[in-house]
Amino acid sequence: MVERTKKPSAIPVSPLAPAPQVSISDDSARVIATLPTGDRVEVLLYGATVISWKSANGKENLFLSDKAHLDGSKPVRGGIPVVFPLFGAPTAGHETGKLPQHGFARSSRWEYLGKSSSESSSLPGNGGDASVKLDFGLSEGIIDSKARSAWNHQFGLTYSITLSTGELYTSLAVSNTESSAWDFQVLFHTYLKIDDISKVSVTGLEETAYLDKVVAGGPKESSATKKAITFEQEIDRVYTKSDKTITVLESDEPRFEVKRDALGDVVVWNPWSEKAKGMADFGPADGWKSMVCVEAGSVGQWMTLEGGDTWEGGQRIKAL
């Protein structure tokens, strides 16, 4: 046997970079995704509602009522409910007039379509995958008969939730799968978690007119305030035709940044004490102090989707 004087050196094997972990709860009701950084998102299949989004340091970014129904018996109070195909109360005579408030998307069980992730090896300071995307689907074939009879159209919704370090991106693709056109509205009813509403301000809407829904005498169109939104009482406003980045500050320090794609309207809402008392699924009693809704949508008017067409819009929330 010939002894080699020079043996080939071993080829170093790089350890596998950590990857996002995605799991489904034992009762098949929730999908949970966690990044190697510790960022985490939890989605309830009922409504495809994001009920938790935590940053790498464990800080929760979404408010969820401690009285929220998570068993599918009613829409979730908190997190990010999906509003479709109408926003607010139904209008008599319109094709959505027989639907419940905010439509059926938030009260239907969605299908989990799967996950995908993106590499981050080229990004300095990152190991493993930079993000993970969860996809969910809803169509006329899987909504309940009551919703189907109230809104008898063929459609397909693909809802994508992308978790990356310090960010959450939610996007909705709406497809009209029939030959006739139909109208719709859409909104992400995002409940952001803050520490003290009295110290919160919202910027980016100073130059935007809005519909004031709590002013005496009923909803009223109001001109731009030219100043940041602050909170001293109940606020329920629909800002329309705005494309600016929105920043939520607490004690003058940026807490969240919201950017939008194809969603020109923003609802800003806090129920304050009296309104909160009247909501059976809202808790704790002083929970209104710890939340502010900044809701990206297209709700100022109806959008018409022609047969065979698809519309897509989304929001990117950055925790600061």
- Which of 42, 95, 250, 295 is flagged as catalytic? 295
Among this protein's residues, is 295 annotated catalytic?
yes
Active site residue 189: yes
Partners of 170 in the β-ladder:
161, 315
Choose the catalytic residue: 42, 95, 102, 189.
Answer: 189
- Nearest-angstrom CA–CA distance, 226 and 210: 12
Residues noted as catalytic: 189, 295
